Amino acid sequence: MSAPDSKSQIVMQAKGLVKRYGQVTALDGADFELRAGEILAVIGDNGAGKSSLIKCLSGATIPDEGEIQLDGKVIHFKSPIDARRAGIETVYQDLAVAPAMTIAENLFLGREIRRHGLLGLLGFIDKKMMLEDSIARMNDLKVGIRSMTQAVETLSGGQRQCVAVGRAAAFAQHVVIMDEPTAALGVKEGNMVLELIRRVRDKGLPVVLISHNMPHVFEVADRIHIARLGKRAAVVNPKKISMSDTVAVMTGAKSVSDLPEDALAH
Amino acid sequence: MSKAPSPGAFDPLIQAHSMNSLKEKLPPLGTLGPAIALLLACTFFSFQHENFLTLKNFSLILQQVMVVGTIAIGQTLIILTAGIDLSCGMVMALGSIVMTKFAANYGLSAPVAILCGIAATALFGLINGLLVTRVKLPPFIVTLGTLNIAFAITQLYSGAQTITNIPDGMNLLGETFNFGGARVAYGVVLMLVLYVAVWVWLRDTAQGRHIYAVGNSPEATRLAGISTDKVLLGVYVLAGVFYGIAATLTVARTGAGDPNGGQTENLDAITAVVLGGTSLFGGRGIILGTLVGAMIVGVFRNGLTLMGVSSVYQILVTGVLVILAVATDQMSRKGAR
Amino acid sequence: MKKSTTLALTAIAFAASAATSAFAAETVIGLITKTESNPFFVKMKEGAEAAAKKAGAKLLSAAGKQDGDTAGQISAMENMVSAGAKTILITSSGDAIIPTIKKIQAQGVQVIALDSPVDGADALFATNNYKAGELIGQYAKAALKGKAPVIATMDLFPGHPVGAQRHNGFLAGYGLKTLDAKSNELAQPAEVVCMADTFGDAAKGQTAMENCLQKNSNINVVYAINEPAAAGAYKALKAAGKEKDVVILGVDGMCSNGVGNVEKGVIGATSMQYPLKMAALGVAAGVQYAKDGKRQTGYTDTGVDLVASKPMAGIKSIDTKTARAQCWGD
């Protein structure tokens, strides 16, 4: 897949987002752009407005001002379910899985495949179909878990993350948002998840990746959105800028105007 | 966009998954435990008295547990959502008074009066459910309150009098028919049918799975787009219906509406659920386990009486078993991690 | 002075004088029962209210939340004494109230136990539960006409004095080996083949009887702690087709559960006790104490009568018609 550039289609976009919580202004006219086929990392210090931005995009929060567009159409999400219906899937930091239930059940929670005819109307689930579908989807993403009928709580942290990511990728139509996916993982499992994220992108789903982990960000991101003081400070190209410069912009130690032109990405 | 390969095509990986899933289909120790305990108890008592291991005796035990057993179906549903219902026995008593008094005072036929009783218990279930979901009070507190309210209403409405002039139709479920040389009560058959129906419903329908999901992780359930409030409300109302059915069974068995009934059933039902391996923390358990739990209590009571042992020991044994049941469930889950 | 102020002051003066005159004239008696729901205590309360009204005394009443709620009874006692009660009538839920009884006696309050004895009370008006058991035991023996008894006892629950007295009294009346009236244990001579607990409840009585029949199908005598338990036992016997082969005995004297069931032949005989009499005697003692300061003392047996529709030779019993006039509850 060719690297996304300014000619790639814009999938999701936000202009001038404002969000206030009492006296605190979390978002102060923030902009955002996500292009087709890319992994966009969103980084920012605490208080930069990073989580508020993501909450607006995933439907968890309603912005006070500003506009969000998906595929060129203006959208108003009232809840995370609205965002999901619009084809945006979010992988939450605490994964939002039911630990005692099986992987297959978790994948299809709330979207169970029903049986045909009267049984289906009564709510009966087609377990065989769900199992086969789960296996197929996870294989597709090359997630190596032995059995889809084991309980999620029997999996390691990295495997659980893969289940949550796999679920989002399986049902997303437009965007996948991931909140700190490698935060609680060791080196090996973290790399496993990064591999999975790349495969999701390669399948054609753009990914918004929130992360504190700079090395991971630089490993997978195509572009990096730097949030600062409730606005978008810059979007940089990880191949053309150093990690230290990126962190400097994030903390305000370095101003954007001091960066060379080719470090910026559009 | 992700596109799944066509299902049904032969795939060695799918085969491998299916074989592993068979191993996972074996129930955890927490569920097998109660069945083993019941089996051991029955074996022990069969050596203590010749009349224990007979169809007649087991038919009696089933009749003795059918009321608590039916209440416990509703209680299981509520405990699966990580809730609890302390009012179950009192609500059942209220239902039994409503149906017998309506039949006696207004001359209603048995089926209509029974429906009125079940409507009353379902209404109480609705009240419990609304207080839990809308007012967001903990189920323990809510049902502690409705327990007392139900008791007071029952006492006031019945005037503390037992109602004995009930229509014949109400005795029907207490009557027995011949089956393999033993007398089996219709009420017992009803209870068993209900258990199987609820078992299938919980295991194989979306609504049933959502009940487990709400108990296991309300947050994940909510984020999956399921209305946890709707699930909880439905569970409390459905439990109320089961308490009403239990009321019908107790009227049929004793032939009367007793305003002082249901007082020990509150805790007896919870005991049956816990002994059956369902976790008080929600999200785990099998409804058939509750039936086993209820049977364990009935078997011990019957067996110890046959042995001439004081009922104090029956109470002691129940207490020990409850602790064993909860401890086993905890340990088996720690092992799985 | 303004007209409204005058009116107000006059009203207050009237009220004050009325209050003081009321306090001066009326004796206040407190009645504390075990629970509100047991018909035995409901009848007792009715009797006390009627007796108090007749004597021109004021009755305060309260109860514990359930059998055994001594804390509730203690609070009620203290509140009633504060409200001016000079005599407390109590059916005690347990010995935990004894210190409070001593305390209020020291303040000049008379404490009379009704139905259940409690140490330290000035007096006791109660049924002799042992005698109640003896009466039905004698009847049972006569009813069996010399046949060997195979007895099942439907008891209350372990350790309760009333349960033990009635059970042991029954065996004494039958002439079998038993314990005396002071014991809290249940005697089990060889003739008693099954003892089961019913908690005084009909449904549990049914279960208890079913299990006892499974143990020994030759049972021909069933003693029950009270009439609901007896009714439950009858149901089990009927389902087993044995109701004609067994004589059932109960205690209490309830109207339909007791006397009614004797009429129907469900119960062979029952010992009737008199909660109304207990209440009336208690109120009378309260009025007396208020008048002359003399405390009631000792134990007064409020009487027990055997109710049977088929009288037995040599055994005194009253018929169901007479019993109906004195029954209580339902």
Q: What is the pLDDT of residue A2?
A: 46
Residue B303 has pLDDT above 90, yes or no: yes
Whether chains A and C touch (3+ CB pairs under 8 A) is answered by no
Q: Which of A101, A114, A169 sits opposite B2 (nearest CB)?
A: A169
Top pLDDT among B7 and B133 is at B133
Q: What is the pLDDT of residue B75?
A: 98
Q: What is the pLDDT of residue B13?
A: 47
The dihedral sign for the CA sequence A158, A160, A163, A164? negative
Q: Can you list the alpha helix ranges (DSSP code H) found in chain C?
A: 3-25, 39-55, 70-82, 98-106, 129-144, 161-174, 202-215, 227-239, 261-264, 275-292, 320-326
Touching check for A26 and chain B: CB below 8 Å?
A: no
Grade residue B19 by pLDDT with cuts at 50, 70 and 90.
Answer: very low
Query: Tokens at residue C217, please?
Result: 């199908």
Residue A186 has pLDDT above 70, yes or no: yes
Could you tell me if C167 and C225 are in contact, meaning their C-beta atoms sit under 8 angstroms apart? yes
Tell me which residues of chain B, numbers 266 to 285, contact chain A at a CB-CB cutoff of 8 Å: 283-284
Residue B166 has pLDDT above 60, yes or no: yes
Q: So where are chain B's domains? A: 31-331
Q: Which numeric CATH code is attached to C129-273+306-326?
A: 3.40.50.2300
Task: Quote the CA–CA distance of C292 and C46 in Å, as a whole number.
Answer: 26
Question: Which one-letter DSSP state was computed for residue A2?
Answer: P
Output the CA–CA distances (angstroms, integers) from residue C50 to B65, B247, C37, C43, C288, in the order listed: 44, 37, 19, 11, 17
**Mean pLDDT within A116-138:** 91
Annotation: CATH topology of B31-331: ABC transporter involved in vitamin B12 uptake, BtuC (1.10.3470)
Q: What is the pLDDT of residue C13?
A: 58
Top pLDDT among A183 and A144 is at A183
Residue A210 has pLDDT above 50, yes or no: yes
Q: What is the pLDDT of residue B294?
A: 95
Question: Which one-letter DSSP state was computed for residue A117?
Answer: H
**Mean pLDDT within A215-220:** 94
Average pLDDT score over chain A: 89
Task: Summarize pLDDT for C136-182 with one digit per residue, the tens.
Answer: 999 999 999 999 999 999 998 887 888 999 999 999 999 999 999 88
Q: What is the pLDDT of residue A43?
A: 93
* CATH class entry, domain A10-90+178-185+205-263: alpha beta
Q: Which of A138, A198, A194 is nearest to A163 (CA)?
A: A138
Q: What is the pLDDT of residue B242?
A: 98
Q: What is the pLDDT of residue B11?
A: 45
Q: Which residues of chain C have pLDDT under 70?
A: 1-25
Cβ–Cβ below 8 Å for B306 and C214 = yes
Q: Which of A81, A94, A98 sits opposite B221 (nearest CB)?
A: A98
Q: Which of B4, B224, B337 sits opposite A137 (nearest CB)?
A: B4
Q: What is the pLDDT of residue B334?
A: 65
Grade residue B2 by pLDDT with cuts at 50, 70 and 90.
Answer: very low
Cβ–Cβ below 8 Å for B217 and A97 = yes
Touching check for B20 and chain A: CB below 8 Å?
A: yes
Q: So where are chain C's domains? A: 3-126+275-296, 129-273+306-326
Task: Summarize pLDDT for B38-84 with one digit per residue, the tens.
Answer: 999 999 999 999 999 999 999 999 999 999 999 999 999 999 999 99
Residue of B nearest to A123 (CA): B205
Task: Summarize pLDDT for B202-236 with one digit per residue, the tens.
Answer: 999 999 999 999 999 998 998 888 999 999 999 99
Q: What is the pLDDT of residue C113?
A: 95
**Chain A residues closer than 8 Å to B226 by CB:** 109-110
Residue B278 Cα to chain centre, angstroms: 11
User: b/e per residue, B299-308, with b = 16+ CB within 10 A?
Assistant: bbbbbbbbeb
Could you tell me if A109 and A166 are in contact, meaning their C-beta atoms sit under 8 angstroms apart? no
- For residue B76, the distance in angstroms to the closest alpha carbon of chain A comes to 17
Q: Which of C266, C253, C255 is nearest to C317 (CA)?
A: C253
Question: Which one-letter DSSP state was computed for residue A30?
Answer: E
Helix (H, G, I), strand (E, B) or coil at A156: coil
Q: What is the pLDDT of residue C40?
A: 86
Cβ–Cβ below 8 Å for C203 and B261 = yes
Please state the ipTM of this predicted complex.
0.85
Neighbours of chain A (3+ CB pairs under 8 A): B
Top pLDDT among C161 and A35 is at A35
Q: What is the pLDDT of residue C173?
A: 96
Q: Which of C235, C170, C189, C181 is nearest to C208 (CA)?
A: C235
Q: Which of C126, C125, C68 is nearest to C97 (CA)?
A: C68
Q: What is the pLDDT of residue C69?
A: 85
Domain C3-126+275-296 classified CATH 3.30.360.10?
no
Q: What is the pLDDT of residue C10?
A: 62
Cβ–Cβ below 8 Å for A110 and B216 = no
Q: So where are chain A's domains? A: 10-90+178-185+205-263
The dihedral sign for the CA sequence B296, B301, B306, B309? positive
